[in-house]
A = this chain, B = another copy of it.
Amino acid sequence: MLHAILDAGLVAHVAVQDESGQPYVIPVGYGRRGDDVLFHGSTGSRLFRSLAAGQPTCLTVTLLDGLVLARSAFESSMNYRSVMVLGVARRLSGDDELDALRAISEHLLPGRWADIRHPSAKERAATLTLALPLDECSVKVRTGGPEDLEEDVADPVFGGVWAGHVPLTESFGAPVPCDNNTAGLTPTYIETWHRPAP
């Protein structure tokens, strides 16, 4: 389940704090390679350098699957799958870093890495790639309908309120070529791209 949730997400939120103790929650694209979650930032980013220097962090991936509509405000909720990873990230380098960048690219759009230009030495120097081990994780999943209090279900007024859940799914629109695109056909790996179902 841990791997399945991570493999189904596109964006993670990562915690980092500055010298004053002010926390930041930063959205990042990410990937997974075995039992590491991988993400990258700019070597120019002070916050990313703090993570590379060993600051404890938390990376959370949340997939929102729907609204849960109970008869009471208190029992109303959301369906979701989430993973919270706690730990210290390590900076990757050399061929290991290049392979991690490949893994992130292939996570976001499988098949793309074979087509595109890989990072140059200059681009590599501007990229800080981090691996956070999946050693300490919390997985939470909520599915299905509401769990109303019996007294609300039996209530003459609130018992008659529509109760259930509304699924929420991500969908992908038609690919939009940019103005200087010269490729005649859209590659199959783009046309058929979708995230794993819940």
Chain A residues within CB distance 8 Å of chain B: 10-11, 13-17, 21-27, 29, 56-60, 62, 64, 66-67, 69-74, 76, 78, 80, 82, 84, 86, 101, 105, 108-109, 112-113, 115-120, 123, 126-127, 144-146, 148, 152-153, 155, 158-183, 185-187, 190, 193
Contact = CB atoms under 8 A, between A and B. Distances in A.
Q: How many copies of this kind of chain does the complex include?
A: 2
Which of A22, A57, A70 has the most chain B CB atoms inside 10 A of its CB? A22
Given A16-B23, A23-B23, 12 more contacts: A15-B17, A17-B23, A22-B58, A23-B56, A24-B84, A78-B108, A162-B181, A164-B181, A165-B175, A165-B178, A168-B170, A170-B170
| A-B pairs, 5 with minimum CB distance | A145-B178, A167-B173, A15-B23, A162-B183, A13-B13
A166 B190 contact: yes
A26 to B, nearest CB: 7
